[in-house]
Structure 1
Amino acid sequence: MTTLTLSDAHALVVAAMTTVGHTPDDAVVIADHLLDCELRGLAFGGLARAVSITERIRATTQAPRPIEIVRETSVSATLDGGDQVGYLVGMRALELATEKARAHGISVVGARNTWYTGMFSHYLEKAAAAGLAGVIAGSGPAVVAPHGGTEGRFGTNPIAFGFPAEPTPVIWDIGTSAVMYGEVVLKARLGEELKPGQAYDAAGSPTSDPGAALAGAFGVWGGHKGSGLAAVVQLLGMMSGAAADPPGISDCGFFVLLVDPAALTDPDDYRRRVTEFAASIRATRPVEGGRAVRVPFDRSAACREETLRRGTIDVPETVVAALREAAHE
């Protein structure tokens, strides 16, 4: 492992992103998102993902196009991401959805033709800070097998819900696969194995080899219930016009629905009641010998606070070396 200060880690990602063609401002947006993943203990979505971004850009022959609004009403919009990385497209979708929800009480924005949309709680935390509640869902390439199957039919398909509260929002953010794509890629880079039951090889046999899993399919999270949720998330992402089974790392669907509580109730009172409800969950008597009960996002917030206090992160040497090489090309 290589220990990096937070500022050095951020600067390294910015340098790598600008070297592969992003503007300085866009590079900062990407770096902010990836570093937030690192702060919250999700290393597979942090600097390791920056390596994957550089690899994907190098392997693409056509340059990305500007993000474009292709359909719009007062409360909705559809974006064509122009094959831009999803951290940029997702932020544009969030900004547009926030603007419309503030003006009209509710908004829905979809985006297609993008990839690597990242950690949905990163977007919903910003929405909650603006006083909005919402849901974000995302579809992707068919790498996850439905319950009872061994062939990919939908993406890792994250879905997240966010609600304003104090001192932190309540955000539930999950992937609907047994293992996330970024985790598998990182384990392949590091020569590590997957946990039993997480994936199948191309022949449909269970595998712990991440390379075989990438050529085969991942398992679904939550049995038949998780499989149903994953299918629904795929359909929400497809509402933007994204393909059901896009080739490679491309054409992910991104679906954002935001609601201003003021459209339905007193927003300050709602925030207070959400805060009190969250406190009541934390105050639940735990099982004997168990830890204190947590609310969704508590772990992320605590981990981020501790990492910020420490001021450093530990990153695999292979990841740091790849980023330094990319930054100096």
Structure 2
Amino acid sequence: MKIQIDEARQLIADVMATYGYDDEQTATIADHLIDTELRGIHQGGLARAATLTERLDRSEPFGPITTINETQSSLALDGGDQLGYIAAKELTTRLTEKAKTSAVVAGTVRNTWVTGMFTYYLELVTAAGLIGFVASGGGPYVAPFGGSEARFGTNPVAFGFPTDGDPIIWDIGTSSLMLADLTLAKKMGEQLPEGLAFDAEGTPTRDAAEVLDGGTITTWGGHKGSGLALSAQLLGILGGSAIAPPWFTDMGFFMCVLAPTAFSDDFAARAGDFAAVLRATRPVDPERPVRVPFERSVSLRAQTRAAGHFEVEEQFVTTLRDVLARRSGT
């Protein structure tokens, strides 16, 4: 079905308000989820919002975000079991401010869950003319290379670089599938691609329900991706999060922010020049020119905004409307 962007944003905000989030927090959550939809990453939009309500329905009341430790160039936060969209954005905002007086700053968040699309935070960082690196670790859903038992989270990593035009942002999961892919496939009754997952007994499977019921997925990129996943997991643990937290709890989030002017005066211009060099690369397929990371999604976002609506599976809109009616008594 088609849904208007403003209608979808308001629906998410109204639902989240029923769980005790204030106006600023509901706006943050809705903005993040809608931004994901606009980029065509539908598993992270309204479908994800429906999954969040399942976790929120059985949550204890969340607490405030508190500072565990802070120096001029570092920050460690306890998320108070707040949704990661809120906790990670607070870390991003505070580190960006610190980077005005310190060339390199870093921070962590523990006791939070679902930090979403890292591109969202890195757009904020690069808009301030800064470089950012983000990594996260979570509950075990991914097997290390050569194994068939879960040890890693899906553990995304992302880099963001300012240029004199659009930023360059590279944002990937270190697993062959993301958790949002599994939950979406389960809800839609769709099979997973071949060779990417095991059930609880270590038998290859294409059934997302079997994977979510004690199974595991593979890392992206074989042994190289496995090493990257390990690194992300350790950076997530750095802030004090659990080594193997249960579903949607105590995910660890790490961010490092650098001020490029501390190292060279014209980094953004030269980064933009190099992006132009990449685009000018001779393509293997003349119909598919070489792109710089972030270009496709930002172009799609602009197109979707211009249209004013996007396509979404009706069941997710229905679920959110049902949750709103149930919790608000309407």
Specify which of 88, 100, 103 is matched with residue 102 of structure 1: 100
C-alpha contact 1:34 1:47 (8 A) present in aligned 2: yes
State the secondary structure of the residue aligned to 1:244: coil
Quote the residue 1:300 is aligned against: 297
CA distance in 2, matches of 1:286, 1:114: 42
Moved more, 240-249 or 173-182: 240-249
Specify which of 90, 93, 96 is matched with residue 92 of structure 1: 90
Moved more, 306-315 or 113-122: 306-315
State the secondary structure of the residue aligned to 1:104: coil
Matched, 1:282 2:279: yes
1:1-329 correspondence runs (5 A): 2-60=1-59, 62-215=60-213, 216-266=215-265, 269-289=266-286, 291-329=288-326
In structure 2, relative to structure 1, the CA distance for the partners of 1:72 and 1:306 (3 Å cut) is: same
C-alpha contact 1:177 1:218 (8 A) present in aligned 2: yes
State the secondary structure of the residue aligned to 2:100: helix
Could you tell me the TM-score, scaled by structure 2's length?
0.97
CA distance in 2, matches of 1:119, 1:3: 23
CA distance in 2, matches of 1:99, 1:288: 44
The one-letter code of the counterpart of 1:260 is A
The alpha carbon displacement at 1:4 in A equals 0.4
The alpha carbon displacement at 1:166 in A equals 3.5
C-alpha contact 1:154 1:244 (8 A) present in aligned 2: no
CA distance in 1, matches of 2:290, 2:126: 22
Could you tell me the TM-score, scaled by structure 1's length?
0.97
CA distance in 1, matches of 2:247, 2:31: 26
Structure 1: tracts of 5 or more residues without a match: none
The one-letter code of the counterpart of 1:300 is S
CA distance in 2, matches of 1:73, 1:328: 45
The alpha carbon displacement at 1:313 in A equals 0.9
The alpha carbon displacement at 1:290 in A equals 5.1
Percent sequence identity is: 46
State the secondary structure of the residue aligned to 1:148: coil
Q: Deviation above 2 Å: which 4+ runs of structure 1?
A: none
Structure 2: tracts of 5 or more residues without a match: none
CA distance in 2, matches of 1:250, 1:290: 44
C-alpha contact 1:96 1:109 (8 A) present in aligned 2: no
